[in-house]
Amino acid sequence: MPNSKLVIIGGDAAGMSAASKVRRDHPDKEIIVFEKSHYTSYSACGIPYFISGEVATSEELVRRSPEEFRNKYKIDVRTMHRVLEVDTDNKRIKVLNKEQDTEFWQEYDQLLIATGGKPYCPEHITGYDAENVFGVSTLKSGIKIEQYIRDFKPKKAVIVGGGYIGLEMAEAMLIRGMEVSLINRQEQVMPTLDPDMGVVVSNAIRDLGVTLYLNEELTGFKIEGNKATGVITNNRTIDADIVILGIGSAPNTAFLKGSKIALGVKDAIKVNAQMLTNVPDVWAAGDCTETLNLVSKQHFYVALGTVANKTGLVAGTNISGQNAIFPGAVGTAVCKICKYEVARTGLQERELKALNIEYVTTTITSKTRADYYPGAKDICVKLLAEKNSGRLLGGQILGEEGAAKRIDVLATAVTHNLTLQNIIDLDLSYAPPFSPVWDPVQTAARSLIKKI
Amino acid sequence: MPNSKLVIIGGDAAGMSAASKVRRDHPDKEIIVFEKSHYTSYSACGIPYFISGEVATSEELVRRSPEEFRNKYKIDVRTMHRVLEVDTDNKRIKVLNKEQDTEFWQEYDQLLIATGGKPYCPEHITGYDAENVFGVSTLKSGIKIEQYIRDFKPKKAVIVGGGYIGLEMAEAMLIRGMEVSLINRQEQVMPTLDPDMGVVVSNAIRDLGVTLYLNEELTGFKIEGNKATGVITNNRTIDADIVILGIGSAPNTAFLKGSKIALGVKDAIKVNAQMLTNVPDVWAAGDCTETLNLVSKQHFYVALGTVANKTGLVAGTNISGQNAIFPGAVGTAVCKICKYEVARTGLQERELKALNIEYVTTTITSKTRADYYPGAKDICVKLLAEKNSGRLLGGQILGEEGAAKRIDVLATAVTHNLTLQNIIDLDLSYAPPFSPVWDPVQTAARSLIKKI
């Protein structure tokens, strides 16, 4: 095993976490990484903050460069190489050298697929490839957007999609001084929240000066020359100098069609808790895999740096010959838009209904600090719990500074089957600059337990 | 039970939480509260922020006034009444009306003792009662300090004691523009932290401009007229225009000596999980009681608003004829001094050694946000875990904005017997404005698990 050849497809969070772990354990093992871009190990989550200008250079988002991996860690990173095909019968992959435009077969003893996700692109809509219409996923796309803003000084930005990326990009465009419109297919932004919490977020975003078009869908672009000058929805045309697409992402697994590697939810790769696929010696990790939801006990698709790092580490540990397990996730996520913080964990009402779980729910408003302490801000907490047992099933938070990270207690509670009474009994920290005497998550639990 | 007479001694957090709960359940029950001061239900924890001027008026610290309890809730609150004696054989208490200087016996059917704590006062040291030497515990003492600062404009403040109150008062005095010295008996401030974390806090406090005298003990005061002009330690005399004593607190139970009510740790009242004392129909709650430590399984003394509110509610629920339990606490606490945040939970090394528990420990430094995100600050996390099982036993945090509230995940973990691996596996929230990809508490767990 130590002297066998590990080949990794994808040089970002999951792939390089695994590569680094294997290198630490096996100093002489051959490790080859094929990465389709120029970059390795960068923070995709940081791209909106580079575009906004809060992060000054794109280099700051790169944790380790290909050169550093090659020279310092003896990991043979080959950038600008795209993998076209996986032939598990012969333990080999077909690789395209993008710079030389040549193809070759690479053999492996162990293979790790860590190709990540890609933003959904409305290829059926003419104009999606106009020079001022951008997806946000790779560092390259981030650099292109930032360059475009500097070169052309757009005044009107239209964001398509009201999820995390959409909200973060709305913030970035506001910071760059643009007039911002946001189109959202659903009746409220943030579809991972329940609609009643979505209303609160929608109102908060309007309060920041964003024009929202809810229940509206992208149907086309108004094109002049190489540029989109308007975004067409089922209801109207919105003037645009720049368009950002944030309409969801999907696993990057198209090249596996026809291989023996089994795909699951949204065509994400099926893996077991060791991150092994259905094919021996083939592992997968990160945004290209499906994830077990610890609350629903069903698989779902998560594209998040936390899960990518964890699953990369677990895959690397197992490839190293040790034993590690990734138990799953509970769908925790957090997002900032200007002064507002939004967070969620566990299941939402839609999912609970689909699972036929009887639940109760409450939403309370409290403060982030003692109400008399300067800077105490409103915080709104929604909890969902199983009707008979009182077991926490999910939580959603909206508030200002200091609100969102409280989701972590709820994520811990959801993961370890704590009840509302358990939450009330928690010895959470209190001093006036940090919290009311009853932390807002406990105030919510006290409110909801009355319905059990 | 509904028509019997409930008498409560003490009108602050625990007493009034219980009174309010009983009133909600029994609209016509007779409830009498004896409170030795003029005030009810105020936030003692907020006093330093009133003294600093961050909270403009002392009224803001009062949640509900005696008049409001009397008029709106029909709770017969009698301020300026001190209880002198409890005679459980005859179900009566002896009360001093402080304004009229008269004594009388009051009968009860149920009694709740919620007399709180009092700051330790060095009565053996001449000068402790000088007009510019203050303890900080009651709203009255806070008002006196604030008034003294306005009237006499002291320039040099000496704080005696480096615990939470000492640190918060040091901040208040800095904000009021004073030169601040702090005397601490132990080798480091914050004795509820391990000394190695105490060093980090000591350095942070020096960085704020506070002069620290460690390993020094108050031995006397230099007195001129009615005022202390210096604080004498075993090593030196420190000039002082105002002196604040923050050398610990103790339960207010002296009046129970000679009664049949059993006392425990530090003379705090022994109670069961229902908050019932050893005497039928006599409950106790808040800072006058001892608390079960859920980690050590031993009783300890906690004087905190969180525990007072919880135990008051539990006592009130049981007095109401329902059934509630207070399981205990894990010693979570948090404190802010200027830009620094300090938090702790669980057991510290000293306690683990005394309990003969084999443990491992690590301290890591990380960032409060993604390192490239503006405002990312250092955070230092120490974890303690059981050597064989990896079960988390305690955590300590020092950092700047956004650091301290992370203790809540550790408090939840300690309470529910989570291991380091459980913490690594938690699906904690991540986005660049809130955290690195691995939350600092997970980075600490990843470091410590290597020692298991």
Report which residue type is found at B320: S
- Quick one: CA dihedral A442, A447, A450, B4, positive or negative? positive
Which of A168, A411, A430 is closest, CB to CB, to B427? A411
Condensed to tens digits (0 to 9), the pLDDT of residues B407-429 reads: 999 999 999 999 999 999 999 99
The residue count of chain B comes to 452
- Which residues between 210 and 229 in chain A have a beta carbon less than 8 angstroms from any beta carbon of chain B? none
CATH of the domain at A406: 3.30.390.30
Whether chain B has a CB inside 8 Å of the CB on A360: the answer is no
* Average pLDDT value for residue range A142-150: 97
- 8 Å CB contact of A408 and B429: yes
Structure tokens at B133: 């030497």
Query: Residue B1's pLDDT is what?
Result: 56
Name which of B331, B3, B299, B261 is nearest B113 in CA terms: B261
* Average pLDDT value for residue range A282-291: 98
Q: Which residue of A has its CA nearest to B308?
A: A437
Q: What residues in B contact A447, CB-CB < 8 Å?
A: none
Whether chain B has a CB inside 8 Å of the CB on A427: the answer is yes
Instruction: Assess whether B128 and B235 both reside in one domain.
Output: yes
Name which of B159, B197, B196, B160 is nearest B180 in CA terms: B159
pLDDT at A371 over 90: yes
pLDDT at A121 over 90: no
Structure tokens at A153: 């000084």
DSSP state of A307: H
pLDDT band at A2 (very low <50, low <70, confident <90, very high): low
Is residue A53 one of the residues assigned to a domain? no
Name which of B81, B101, B100, B73 is nearest B34 in CA terms: B81
Task: Please state, for a pLDDT cut of 90, what percent of chain A lies above it.
Answer: 96
* Average pLDDT value for residue range A134-148: 94
Is residue A68 one of the residues assigned to a domain? no
Is residue B328 one of the residues assigned to a domain? no
Three-state secondary structure call for residue B147: helix
Instruction: Assess whether A148 and A212 both reside in one domain.
Output: yes
Q: What residues in A contact B405, CB-CB < 8 Å?
A: 402, 405-406, 429, 434-435
Instruction: Assess whether B190 and B228 both reside in one domain.
Output: yes
Instruction: Assess whether B398 and B427 both reside in one domain.
Output: yes
Instruction: Assess whether B16 and B108 both reside in one domain.
Output: yes
Whether chain A has a CB inside 8 Å of the CB on B282: the answer is no
Instruction: Assess whether A366 and A286 both reside in one domain.
Output: no
Q: What residues in A contact B334, CB-CB < 8 Å?
A: 429-431, 434
Examine the predicted complex and report whether its ipTM is higher than 0.95. yes
- 8 Å CB contact of B412 and A411: no
Query: Residue B137's pLDDT is what?
Result: 81
Query: Residue B2's pLDDT is what?
Result: 55
What are the DSSP E strand ranges found in B131-217?
133-135, 156-160, 179-184, 211-214
Condensed to tens digits (0 to 9), the pLDDT of residues A161-217 reads: 999 999 999 999 999 999 999 999 999 999 999 999 999 999 999 999 999 999 999
Q: Which of B247, B263, B293 is the last residue of a domain?
A: B247
Query: Residue B224's pLDDT is what?
Result: 97
Q: Which of A231, A247, A263 is the last residue of a domain?
A: A247
Is residue B332 one of the residues assigned to a domain? no
Alpha-carbon distances, residue B196 vs B210, B393, B448 (angstroms): 19, 17, 16
Is residue A326 one of the residues assigned to a domain? no
Q: Determine which one of B45, B121, B335, B380 is catalytic.
A: B45
- 8 Å CB contact of A305 and B437: yes
Task: Please state, for a pLDDT cut of 90, what percent of chain B lies above it.
Answer: 96
Name which of B422, B295, B304, B444 is nearest B365 in CA terms: B444
CB B155 within 8 Å of CB B265:
no
Residues of chain B with pLDDT under 50: none
Query: Residue A330's pLDDT is what?
Result: 98
Whole-angstrom distance, CA of residue A352 vs CA of residue A358 = 7
Report which residue type is found at A257: K
- Give B111-140 as a DSSP string: EEE---EEE---TTSTTTTSTTEEE--SHH
Whether chain B has a CB inside 8 Å of the CB on A416: the answer is yes
Count of domains for chain A:
3
Structure tokens at A419: 């009840």
Which of B305, B336, B438 is closest, CB to CB, to A433? B336
Which of B46, B54, B429 is closest, CB to CB, to A343? B429
> 């007009």: which residue's tokens?
B131
Instruction: Assess whether A352 and A444 both reside in one domain.
Output: yes
Is residue A105 one of the residues assigned to a domain? yes
CATH of the domain at A285: 3.50.50.60
Name which of A450, A396, A395 is nearest A418 in CA terms: A395
Q: Please name every residue paired with B62 in a beta bridge, in sequence order, or none if there are none.
A: B42
Which of A49, A413, A432 is closest, CB to CB, to B373? A49
User: Do the bridges between strand B282-284 and strand A218-224 make them parallel or antiparallel, or are there none, so unpaired?
Assistant: unpaired
Assess whether B45 carries a catalytic annotation. Answer: yes
- 8 Å CB contact of A54 and B333: no
Instruction: Assess whether B143 and B104 both reside in one domain.
Output: no
Query: Residue A119's pLDDT is what?
Result: 87
Q: Which of A319, A353, A374 is the last residue of a domain?
A: A319
Burial of B28 (0-12, 13-18, 19+ CB in 10 A): exposed
Structure tokens at A28: 């002489």
Its domain, for residue A210, covers 121-247
Burial of B179 (0-12, 13-18, 19+ CB in 10 A): middle
Instruction: Assess whether B90 and B125 both reside in one domain.
Output: no
Instruction: Assess whether B425 and B371 both reside in one domain.
Output: yes
Query: Residue A137's pLDDT is what?
Result: 81
Is residue A261 one of the residues assigned to a domain? yes
Is residue B28 one of the residues assigned to a domain? yes
> 């310092």: which residue's tokens?
A72
Query: Residue A1's pLDDT is what?
Result: 56
- Residue of A340, A342, A392, A408 to mutate for B, most B C-beta atoms under 10 A: A408
Query: Residue A201's pLDDT is what?
Result: 95
Catalytic positions of A are: 45
Instruction: Assess whether B152 and B175 both reside in one domain.
Output: yes
Instruction: Assess whether B255 and B108 both reside in one domain.
Output: yes
Q: What residues in B contact A434, CB-CB < 8 Å?
A: 334, 336, 341, 404-405
Pick the range with the lowest mean pLDDT from A34-38, A47-51, B40-44: B40-44
